[in-house]
Amino acid sequence: MTKDQIFAFAQHITPQKTLSRAIGRIAECENSWVKNTFIGQFVKKYQVDMSEAVNSNPLSYRNFNDFFTRAIRPELRPICDEDKSIACPADGAISQLGHIEHGTLFQAKGHHYSLTSLLGGDAALSNQFLGGTFATVYLSPKDYHRVHMPLTGKLTKMIHIPGKLFSVNKVTAEQIPNVFARNERTVCLFDTEAGPMAVILVGAMIVASIETVWAGQVTPFNKNVVTWDYSELSKIEINKGEEMGRFKLGSTAIVLFGKNAVNWEASLQAESPTKMGMPFGKVTQE
């Protein structure tokens, strides 16, 4: 077996959720020795640039999760404001992006996965995005871990889908089929000027929880698919560039649009670095 194959195999036999929840409890610990040791080692290992943070002193945070979801200085992430522009939702790197062809999305070399599976088996929902476009952004450990709105949108639905907690880095994407449609995730649906938009927050190994700004902590929740319908219950609208969710420890955000709705920036391709707010694409739908 190659090194990459061994890494993927190890994830199958690791008690993913037990390990992730245990790390999550440590990440919430406010004991100064525990949290300062954890934060200090993390900053050093991943070379975290604290000069970008609103609070640049890593040891002053209440706990590791508070540090990990740190706010960034807004002047360092200007939101693209050209007419019809789409803003990048997160710091990180493009995993893949392109068209949703025959109801599947491209994961990595040799692997595609089902749109319907990604959306929790809801065929009616997936029909809204058939023939559309997708972009997958991977947030590495050193990155800013809040996810922001690509376009202004009115929230219509949120779906929690339980699943595995495989890592979602490049090696795993190339080795484990359907990883994004197998992992625990939260699907957020919005009405926008480009039609329906989905922002999907995908959990991963060591991710303690996923939060949204309107619901707070969403995962871990339970073993069943849970749906919140916001279409008539509220008028939640979030502007382009505003925060919509965050990861307590990192993962991946996937953005979906319908057919002929948007075009991605021509310069973007797999492994392109991203910064939240940068131009991500253009709305083509009138």
Catalytic residue among 20, 85, 91, 145: 91
113 and 252: one domain? Answer: yes
106 and 218: one domain? Answer: yes
146, part of any domain: yes
Residue 8 belongs to what domain range? 3-69
43 and 173: one domain? Answer: no
What's the burial of 233, exposed, middle or buried (CB within 10 Å: 0-12/13-18/19+)? exposed
Q: What is the number of structural domains in the chain?
A: 2
The pLDDT of residue 1 is 57
Q: Please indicate whether residue 148 is annotated as part of the active site.
A: yes
Catalytic residue among 111, 145, 148, 160: 148
19 and 98: one domain? Answer: no
85 and 14: one domain? Answer: no
111 and 225: one domain? Answer: yes
74, part of any domain: no
pTM: 0.87
Which amino acid, 190?
A: F
Q: What is the pLDDT along the chain (286 residues), one digit of tens a residue?
A: 555 444 343 444 344 455 555 565 677 889 999 899 989 999 999 999 999 999 999 999 999 889 989 999 999 999 999 999 999 999 999 988 999 988 887 655 556 778 998 898 888 999 999 999 999 998 888 899 999 999 999 999 999 988 765 555 554 445 455 566 677 889 999 999 999 999 999 876 555 578 899 988 876 656 778 888 888 766 899 999 999 998 876 678 999 999 999 999 999 998 899 999 999 999 996 6
The pLDDT of residue 173 is 43
What's the burial of 31, exposed, middle or buried (CB within 10 Å: 0-12/13-18/19+)? exposed
36 and 165: one domain? Answer: no
Q: Please indicate whether residue 160 is annotated as part of the active site.
A: no
98 and 229: one domain? Answer: yes
Q: Please indicate whether residue 251 is annotated as part of the active site.
A: yes
Q: Are 117 and 178 in contact (CB under 8 A)?
A: yes
What's the burial of 42, exposed, middle or buried (CB within 10 Å: 0-12/13-18/19+)? middle
117 and 53: one domain? Answer: no
